[in-house]
Amino acid sequence: MPKTKNAELRIKVIDRCLSDQGRKYSTERIFELCNEELEARGYDRITAMNSIRADMEQIERMYPDGEIEMYKEGRNRFYRYKDPEFSIYKTPMKADEIIQLTQTLNLLKRFKGMPQFNWVDEIAERLGASLKLDEATDEIVGFDENLDLEGMDNFTPLFNAIVDKQPLRLTYQSFKQDNKETIIVHPYYLKQYNKRWFLIAWNDEKDFMANYAFDRIKGIEDANLAYKPTDVNWFDYFDEMIGVSKDTRTEPQKVLLWVSNASWPYVKTKPLHGATQRLVNMDETGAYITIEVYLNYELEQQILSFGENMKVLEPVELKERIKQRLGGAILNYVEKVQNG
């Protein structure tokens, strides 16, 4: 049975016991009542008394007003809420708010593949008793997430640093470097692209905005510096680009592309860049389209992924860059044939 539901049922029983000021409950008695409830619902019994103690600590941690006091009678120890009126069932929320929150949590619990998503289960445990969350919460939505991606343990500290406006000292090693380097950054935003996660931050030494892949971050420490705020609108920041690489010292450029008839239906329904893609002309060979974006590595990757079905016509610098990369790819195959 799901561990989350098991814990939720235990919390219900413990809350009921601690709220009952007319009876005395020891941890042993609460332990017995929890197992009775679990068995009645078809769940596995708990075997460790520490589970009850951990649950009680969790109640105190999650509910500031839910302080639990221990009192003695002879050699026996009993537990109850210090406030005789307290119970996690008593919520000031309105009925319609409870319904909305219940629906939202039930929806979130169906999502699989989101990083650091364990907090949903924690919130569900906390509110499940009073909100009566629906048990039927099988995942029905799957994200295209790389669950084995290195560096996902960096998500929470980077997220917290952004919230706390805390400059960081990153130990970083890009794919192009043999050695690690130390970088002072002011973290601003977390972005996912192509199954990888990136930190968008201001580089103190180079004095520009840069992105840092989670899987290349080898260490994170607080930097004893004043935080450099930003007025960047992150809803607009990625509008004129593909991916996460953006040299703010340059400007977006109009890119003219030819797309073959074979690939045009795909590019038409899944634009290369939805905000700016425009159809310029059609002929017997295919479509001519334009996009206005920053020239970056991710754009090149998108173009190269279409192989012979896409050609850069303008600007010249991008056209030459694609030619160089395609030439290098051809040389790889030529060398294999000659050496094979």
User: For residues 97 and 105, what is the distance between their CA atoms, to the nearest angstrom?
Assistant: 12
pTM over cut 0.85: no
Say if CB 167 and CB 223 are below 8 A apart: yes
Classified as helix, coil or strand, 62 is: helix
Neighbouring CB atoms inside 10 A of 257's CB total 22
Q: Which runs of consecutive H residues, i.e. helices, occur in the chain?
A: 3-19, 27-40, 50-62, 95-108, 118-131, 155-164, 234-237, 264-269, 297-304, 316-339
Q: How confident is the model at residue 273 (pLDDT cuts 50, 70, 90)?
A: very high
Domains detected in the chain: 3-81 (1.10.10.10), 95-142 (no CATH), 152-237 (2.30.30), 253-336 (3.30.70)
Residues in the chain: 340
Classified as helix, coil or strand, 214 is: helix
User: For residues 74 and 104, what is the distance between their CA atoms, to the nearest angstrom?
Assistant: 48
Give how far Cα 245 sits from Cα of 27, 53, 109, 186, 311, Å.
57, 49, 32, 17, 22
User: For residues 50 and 267, what is the distance between their CA atoms, to the nearest angstrom?
Assistant: 58
Neighbouring CB atoms inside 10 A of 64's CB total 7
Q: How confident is the model at residue 91 (pLDDT cuts 50, 70, 90)?
A: low
Picking from 131, 210, 136, 129, the residue whose alpha carbon sits closest to that of residue 168 is 210
Say if CB 306 and CB 259 are below 8 A apart: yes
The label of the residue with tokens 């790889």 reads 332
The predicted model gives 46-59 an average pLDDT of 91
Bond from prior residue into 315 cis (ω within 30 degrees of 0): yes
Q: How confident is the model at residue 119 (pLDDT cuts 50, 70, 90)?
A: low
pLDDT digits (tens, 9 = 90+) for 122-148: 566 656 555 555 555 555 666 666 666
The set of residues, in sequence order, having a beta carbon less than 8 Å from that of 219 and lying 6+ positions away, is: 170, 171
Q: How confident is the model at residue 2 (pLDDT cuts 50, 70, 90)?
A: very low
The set of residues, in sequence order, having a beta carbon less than 8 Å from that of 307 and lying 6+ positions away, is: none
User: For residues 311 and 303, what is the distance between their CA atoms, to the nearest angstrom?
Assistant: 8
Residue 187: how many CA atoms within 13 Å on its side-chain side? 29
pLDDT digits (tens, 9 = 90+) for 275-293: 899 999 999 999 999 999 9
Say if CB 307 and CB 266 are below 8 A apart: no
The predicted model gives 167-178 an average pLDDT of 87
User: For residues 25 and 16, what is the distance between their CA atoms, to the nearest angstrom?
Assistant: 10
Picking from 195, 267, 200, 282, the residue whose alpha carbon sits closest to that of residue 233 is 200
The set of residues, in sequence order, having a beta carbon less than 8 Å from that of 199 and lying 6+ positions away, is: 154, 158, 185, 187, 189, 190, 211, 212, 214, 217
pLDDT digits (tens, 9 = 90+) for 7-39: 888 999 999 999 998 899 999 999 999 999 998
pLDDT digits (tens, 9 = 90+) for 322-337: 999 999 998 888 855 4
